[in-house]
Amino acid sequence: MALTLESAARLLDRHGLLREIIRGDVWTLDPHDIKGFDEPFSAITYDTRKVEPGTFLCCKGRFKAEYLQGIDERGLAAYVSENDFSDATQAPGLIVDDVRKAMALLSAEFYGRPQDQLKVVGITGTKGKTTTAYLTQAMLNGCSGGKCALFSSVDNCLDGHTYVESDLTTPESMDAFRMMREAVDNGMEYLVMEVSSQAYKVDRVFGLTFDVAAFLNISPDHISPIEHPTFEDYLHCKRQIVKNCRALVLGADCARADLIRQDARHTSVPVTTFALGGDSMADVMAAPANDDHSRFSIVIDGTSIGELSLTLDGDFNYANAAAAVAIARAAGFDFGSAQAKDALREMEPVRIAGRMEHFKDTRSNTIAIVDYAHNYASVTALLDYVDQRYGSEKPEITLITGSAGNKAYDRRAEIVHAAQDRIDHLVLTFEDTDDEPVEQVCADMNDSVTNPQLDVKTILDRAEAVETTVSRDRKDPEHLHIILIIGKGNERWFKDHGKHIPYEGDDRIVERVFRLK
């Protein structure tokens, strides 16, 4: 059904959001008092630059009246806002208590509620969301014949096989429902999406019920004045996914798991658990199948259903694979069937740009690993992998890292504390920021170093940081050198003062310096 002023008003009123409808001197709760109440909107947007005849505008964020200058001449049909803008436009306004919640509901309705035509999987957690999302998409594609879409912090995929770089971990609600509609029109039956804590903090997924939600793990992160003021607030936002799903997949070793289970019991949501290792009582487990951990057995309810050898390095990625199997099981796939067992193989070749990417220098015994690790948990997991894989060779390890400006202040010390006693060199460098000087971020990280034996340098130019490190390591070609470059992955931009600044990319810098291309 097309979205009209009347249907929009009724929807918002039903959810207790509508305050009144205003057009000039007319203030009313009855949309029939407004001329054109039954005319369908031709488009919906939150960007005034995209307004054309028949457009419905969502005035979100720090919206100002001056943004509406000349808007009537361009054909604005109506707007929804927390403020009355009748002095700036003749278009009727739906005045609401919360415009972000309203935008989510109205967007879903405008695009024909595409979520009802998809089985939607939401994945949250402090670390592992992206990898689990890709592995789950591969698993569900294998089970459904390639009919699974993906929203991730790295890429979006709306047809099961074409990947386009994304801007946000969880898209704005309007963008999400637009992409869901495109996925449905492309014949998709499943959607896997990462769900960040901010998605609940700012209502990007308001009104969306996940058929299956996965809560992987939790540890302090995103604590700052512009994100979450406390860990409690961060966890609270993450926990909202439990109250908005039909089935939950939970990491058996997740911190605060008892509280999350209580959330599930309060809403009568069934729980499936997953874990890494063979000693757990989890419903789905990934356990090493050989001594070198190159193959893992996937065990469901105590019975092995097959073995995996992932292209992705690190035992922790087998925990993510176990989560993917648990998700597929919760979504209704029978792993007693040959098709579902065969779908395990679909996870083996999965690669994710910027995730645990390895590069070998052509002129020395140096290995570079590019990864998105950016907090205590992910840096610890990365160093655990290096120790397991290369520890016997006693490598010289350099960590090249920065930390985001203006947010997640705790990460600065956490990255240092996770690494300083396990590496030989720390190079502090440029990372995304807003208006906080990168020099200050690096200084904060430097001040967190308590190991007097650690060699610390600050090289703000990120490419120069890699080039300088490689040049030094090439002077000792016999010894194994490991260079860990974290935080940016394969991103081709820096965020600086609210703008995206082009950047070569960590992976491409390594390829260039190593002369791999």
| Secondary structure of 349-360 in HEC code, one letter for each residue | CCCCCCCCEEEE
Q: CA-to-CA distance for 41 and 54, rounded, in angstroms?
A: 5
Confidence of residue 40 (pLDDT cuts 50, 70, 90): very high
Q: Would you give the distance in Å from CA 496 to the centre of its chain?
A: 20
Q: Which of 38-42, 292-296, 421-425, 501-505 shows the lowest mean pLDDT across its residues? A: 292-296
Other Cβ atoms closer than 10 A to 338: 7
Alpha helices in 391-452 (DSSP H): 410-419, 438-447
How many Cβ atoms from other residues are within 10 Å of residue 157's Cβ? 24
pLDDT-based confidence at residue 224 (cuts at 50, 70, 90): confident
Strands 396-401 and 425-428, bridge-based pairing: parallel
Q: Is the pLDDT of residue 168 over 80?
A: no
> CA-to-CA distance for 254 and 45, rounded, in angstroms?
39
Return the closest-CA partner of residue 89 out of 75, 71, 74. Answer: 71
Would you state the pLDDT for residue 37?
A: 94
- 25-29, 269-273, 489-493, 510-514: least confident range: 489-493
Q: Count the alpha carbons within 13 Å of 199 in the hemisphere toward its beta carbon.
A: 29
Convert 152-193 into a string of H (helix), E (strand) and C (coil): CCCEEECCCCCEEECCCCCCCHHHHHHHHHHHHHCCCCEEEE
pLDDT in tens, 63-84: 999 999 999 999 999 999 999 9
Mean pLDDT of 102-122: 98
User: Rounded CA gap, 344 and 354, in Å?
Assistant: 23
Q: Hey, what long-range contacts does 142-147 have (CB within 8 A, 24 or more apart)?
A: 142/339, 142/342, 142/343, 142/344, 142/345, 142/346, 142/347, 143/328, 143/333, 143/339, 143/340, 143/343, 144/189, 144/190, 147/187, 147/188, 147/189, 147/190
What's the CA gap between 344 and 82, in Å, rounded?
48
- What is the chain's mean pLDDT, rounded? 94
- 102 with 94: CB under 8 angstroms? yes
* Domain annotation for the chain: domains and CATH numbers: 5-110 (3.40.1390.10), 114-347 (3.40.1190.10), 357-513 (3.90.190.20)
pLDDT band at residue 1, thresholds of 50, 70 and 90?
Answer: low
Average of pLDDT values for 237-254?
97
HSE on the CB side for 56, CA within 13 Å? 26
Report the alpha-carbon distance of residue 235 to residue 169 in Å, rounded: 17
Sheet holding 26-28, edge to edge: 26-28, 18-23, 93-96, 76-81, 55-58, 43-45
| pLDDT on residue 454 | 98
DSSP β-ladder status, 357-360 and 366-371:
antiparallel
Q: Which two tokens stand for residue 171?
A: 């898209």
Task: Please report where in the chains the tokens 């470059």 appear, as a residue.
Answer: 485
Q: How far is CA 6 from CA 41, 75, 78, 147, in A?
A: 11, 19, 11, 35
